[in-house]
Each structure stands twice: as C-alpha cells, then as structure tokens.
Amino acid sequence: MIKTGIFSGSFNPVHIGHLALANYLCEFEGLDEVWFMVTPHNPLKNQSDLWPDQFRLKLVESAIAGYDKFKASDFEFTLPRPSYTVNTLEKLSLQYPDRQFHLIIGSDNWQLFNRWYKADEIIARYHLLVYPRPGYPIDDEAGFPASVRMTNAPVFDISSTFIRESLAQDKDIRYFLHPEVYKIIADNRSELF
C-alpha cells in the first residue's frame, strides 16, 4: 500500500511553510507521497477571500514541480459543496484502493476535531497525522486513538492571510513563497489586489 498524505487546504496562496511541512512528512514521517488537495470552499471560511480555484491550483502545481513525492489535486473541485473531509476520503479510497490515506491536520484543527462532520468515522477508518501549530499545544498524546499520530514536524508560523496582506501592502516577501509562485502572483497582481 502506498502511504499517501492528504494535505487539504485553500492554499490561498501555497507558501514555504506548506511545502516544508509536506517535505518533512515525506522524508521523516514515513509518507510515500503528499497530495495537496486544493479545496474549492471551506465551510468555515468566507468564499470572497479565496482567489479563483484554478489559479490556486496553478500556484500549487508550480510550487511542487520537480519533486516526485508531491501531487497537486483538484479532486474536490467536482464534489458537492461544501465539501466535507469524510466524503473526500471515502471517494478517494474507492477511486484509489492501492493507497492508505493519512489525513494531515494542524494541532489547531485537532483541538476542534470533535466538531468536524463525522469526526468519529474519520478516526475509525483513516490515519491522521497531526503537526504542531504555534499556540495549540497537544497535551495528552497518550490519549490519542491508535489511528492518530502527533508528528515532530518543525513549527512554521506563516499564514496565507499574512502573505496576502503583505503582498497587498507591496511588501517584497519573495522568500516566503516558492520563486515560481511569487512570479505568478506578481504577474497577476492587478487581478488579485
């Protein structure tokens, strides 16, 4: 079985924190690959804040080109909206029976996980890799279900919101983004800001 990490997010835009985390999970936490699952709309986020779906997908594709363990996925673009993680995982498992899916979430989401749609079903049927986020410590790892594992990934305190706000203020933050991503955003600046 291929161990495939599902890294779901708006990637609005994808930044070096996303890339370094996914790289770490492949090289140090036993994943064979990570799929960047670009979400068309998160029920918890304001749709108007999102850059266009295909544009965000293009940014991810540009950022991961050349590293065979990464894949950009638009799988959720065709699913009913809002898309719930349990539905995505179920459909992925049916379509790719040769893969063992591991859901990648931050410790911030883990603290709210009991509020996710069908959270118990996700824990019962899939693996979860929880990475540390600043301000969201995990206290009781011993109490984790067998399918949930806390990773030792480095902590990256970078957000896509910070990236967008900085770019809107004309800050030169090229080192927070993959060079291709920075170039594409710069080339499309008039449409984004």
pLDDT attached to residue 43: 54
13 exposure class (CB count in 10 Å sphere: 0-12, 13-18, 19+):
buried
pLDDT attached to residue 47: 65
Bridge-based pairing of strands 70-73 and 33-38 is parallel
For 23-52, what is each residue's pLDDT tens digit?
A: 999 999 999 999 999 998 655 556 677 899
Among 66-70, 79-83, 87-91, 125-129, the least confident range: 79-83
d(CA 19, CA 36): 10
Torsion angle, CA of 94/75/155/16, rounded to 10 degrees? 140
Give the pLDDT mean for 47-62. Answer: 91
pLDDT attached to residue 50: 87
d(CA 106, CA 178): 21
Provide the whole-model pTM.
0.93
pLDDT attached to residue 83: 79
In this predicted structure, the answer to whether residue 94 has a pLDDT above a threshold of 90 is yes
Q: Domain 2-157: what homologous superfamily? A: HUPs (3.40.50.620)
d(CA 159, CA 185): 16
Which residues are registered as beta bridge partners of 104? 129
> How far is Cα of residue 108 from the mean position of the Cα atoms in its chain?
13
For 106-156, what is each residue's pLDDT tens digit?
A: 999 999 999 999 999 999 999 999 999 999 988 776 678 999 999 999 998
pLDDT attached to residue 41: 66
Peptide bond connecting 43 to the previous residue in cis, omega within 30 degrees of 0:
no
Query: Where are the domains positioned within the chain?
Result: 2-157
